[in-house]
Amino acid sequence: MSELFSTPIHPLIFFLLGAILIAVLPATKDKIASIITVIIPVVSFISLLQWQQGSFGFYQLLGLELTLLKIDGLSLLFAYLFHLAAFIAGIYAFHINDRLQQAASLLYVGSALGAVFAGDWITLFIFWELLALTSVMLILSRRTQASYRSSIRYFIIQVLSGVLLFSGALMIAHQAGTPSITALVLNTDILSINTGYDVAIWLIFIAYGIKCGFPLFHSWVADAYPQATPTGAIFLISITTKVAIYALARSFAGTDFLVTIGLVMSCFPIIFAIIENDLRRVLAYSIISQIGFMICAIGIGTEMAINGAVATAFNHVIYKSLLMMSMGAVLLRVGHVDGSHLGGLYKSMPKTAIFSIIGALSISTPLFAGFVSKAIIMSEMLKAGHIIGWLLLLAAAAGVFLASGIKAPYFAFFAKDSGLRVKEAPTNMLFAMTIAAVLCLVIGIFPSTLYSILPYPIDYSPYDVTHVVTQLQLLFFSTFAFVWLSRKNWYPSELRSTNLDIDWFYRKLFPKAWMKVCQFSHLSHQCFVLLSTKVLNNVVMSLAKYSRPDALLGRAWSINGMLLSLLCVLLFVLFFNYSQ
């Protein structure tokens, strides 16, 4: 086995072969296709364990030497994460018989692995765009009108990100002679110094920001993820934004501006999550908030902060997938996840309800996964002197627990009984949720299991008395606030509606403005046609008036009169020519 995998085999090859096998299998071999989606991550992971750090897979493109495989601690951790996510999601999706979704999910994971192992921006761009192409299939697979429209909006935004990345990469390659990702200086505020690559840096920065869900670019997360299939959403929340977090950590670590962006991202989505009715959209908004924590850590830029960012990304995939899997099971059995029309499902889906509670506790509760990674970020915020930022992150942690940790499980399973009686989630879904729940507990109780694979050495214990007590107080406050507001009927009512934020501009304002422009153009055209018709009618009537047999133009002219008219015309032409 060690001889077989002594040379790095790009994981994309395994996932590409798996997708091809699924595509060519006979229609009667649906279970084999499901087995392939589970086996491929295992085989690829075995290959990954044999790798040595270094750069491999050099190739020439347009006179530039590009690197297909750059293996180090940072890229390996995200590779482990994506393999784990693919394995859990493959088990969760084992019951489906949808070749498009199954093949697209394997190609999607393979593209993500290609992106994190890319050693230059050109290679990164190629896989960046493959991510967009393959992930949009997971939204289209829902096969509804809403998912179709959402997939178009999602695809446009993702392609825009790729175009900006490619433009910046070409500028770097032209000016520096190399498209290497390490061409930019790491661990410094590269956005505030004059490096000669200012425009290129900003283009790449915005490209990463779009895929991360920066403020003003974030609405695609809440728009697209809830429209994906129940199984496709698990792949989406595990990969797209995490690839962008990796890219930021690789190229923009230590950029102070990211701390401000991260703080804004941590706080504002909580408002929308609280008033949102679609529980998968609630979780999507909380994803944006949690990404804000990671971006703050990347902005600080120390090795310990980067450890905190990637550890939070690792844990976030596990516990947020667990929450989304529980909501996906509800969507599968009920047909919707509107909090206003759920409640009492714990009676018929008790196991799913328990897993949902574990996912909620894992957000930031001691002895669960989220606590041991966020503790690093909070500690680094204090060390960096960001006191106000530390307070804002504390408030954001409480808000996220309130919005997605309490609201989503409560309205789905424990609110006023809606009378719904459905089957428990399929066995494969329960098994996938079991794996995620066990990981949440193991990482929370034994954080060294995660700390040992972080990119930088770490000697940290998250269970100091101050941090534990502070976090428990915040969680208690969040729970008390939810209960008190609910009993007072002050908590926002769950109404079947779609709340819009920045996407109001392109989903409401721009279409209405375009309709007005079209209406004005149509009205202007009608007025022009009517006016032109009227003028032509008047001209025709005038000509008809003077063309009657007894009129000036209709009666016969004498030879002398005709000669006199021609002479006048000739004199006018001669005068006009010689006057120039």
Instruction: Say whether pLDDT at 7 is over 60.
Output: no
The β-bridge partners of 69 are 56
* pLDDT tens-digit series, residues 528-550: 888 888 888 887 777 666 666 66
* pLDDT tier at 188, thresholds 50, 70, 90: very low
* pLDDT tens-digit series, residues 498-510: 666 766 666 677 7
The stretch 224-233 carries a mean pLDDT of: 89
Question: Which stretch of 67-81, 170-184, 226-240, 403-417 has the lowest confidence by average pLDDT?
Answer: 170-184
Q: Which pLDDT belongs to residue 39?
A: 95
Provide the whole-model pTM: 0.84
Q: Is the Cβ–Cβ distance between 72 and 455 less than 8 Å? A: yes
Q: Is the Cβ–Cβ distance between 379 and 372 less than 8 Å? A: no
Q: Which residue has the higher pLDDT, 173 or 164?
A: 164
**Gap between the Cα atoms of 565 and 2, Å rounded:** 106
Instruction: Say whether pLDDT at 472 is over 90.
Output: no
- The CB-based long-range contact list for 543-552 (8 Å cut-off, 24+ gap) reads none
**Gap between the Cα atoms of 184 and 195, Å rounded:** 9
H helical segments located in 335-407: 350-361, 369-383, 387-400
Q: DSSP of 489-503, one letter per residue?
A: T-SPP--S----STT
Q: Which pLDDT belongs to residue 311?
A: 95
- Reading the block at residue 22, the tokens are 């699924």
Q: Which pLDDT belongs to residue 216?
A: 86
Percentage of residues in the chain having pLDDT higher than 90: 40
**Gap between the Cα atoms of 309 and 373, Å rounded:** 8
The β-bridge partners of 61 are 64
* pLDDT tier at 185, thresholds 50, 70, 90: very low
The stretch 116-121 carries a mean pLDDT of: 87
> What does the mean pLDDT of the chain come to?
85
The stretch 151-157 carries a mean pLDDT of: 90
Q: Which pLDDT belongs to residue 217?
A: 86
Question: Which stretch of 142-146, 338-342, 369-373, 562-566 has the lowest confidence by average pLDDT?
Answer: 562-566
**Helix axis angle, 232-251 relative to 73-92, nearest 10°?**
170
- Reading the block at residue 482, the tokens are 């939810």
* pLDDT tens-digit series, residues 258-279: 999 999 999 988 888 888 888 9
Instruction: Say whether pLDDT at 229 is over 50.
Output: yes
* pLDDT tier at 320, thresholds 50, 70, 90: very high
* pLDDT tens-digit series, residues 426-442: 999 999 999 999 999 99
Instruction: Say whether pLDDT at 3 is over 50.
Output: no
Q: Is the Cβ–Cβ distance between 259 and 386 less than 8 Å? A: yes
Instruction: Say whether pLDDT at 26 is over 70.
Output: yes
* pLDDT tens-digit series, residues 56-85: 777 777 677 788 888 888 999 999 999 999
What separation in angstroms does the CA of 105 have from each of 19, 102, 294?
8, 5, 25
* pLDDT tier at 6, thresholds 50, 70, 90: very low
* pLDDT tier at 4, thresholds 50, 70, 90: very low
The structure tokens 């390996």 sit at 76
Instruction: Say whether pLDDT at 574 is over 90.
Output: no
What sign for the dihedral angle of Cα 47, 49, 51, 55? positive
The stretch 7-23 carries a mean pLDDT of: 88
Q: Which pLDDT belongs to residue 567?
A: 83
Main-chain phi, psi angles of 57, to 5 degrees: 70, 50
Q: Which pLDDT belongs to residue 103?
A: 92
Q: Give the residue among 352, 496, 486, 500 at the shortest CA–CA distance from 412.
A: 352
Q: Where are the domains of the chain?
A: 502-534
Q: Which helix (H) or strand (E) holds 37?
A: helix 30-49
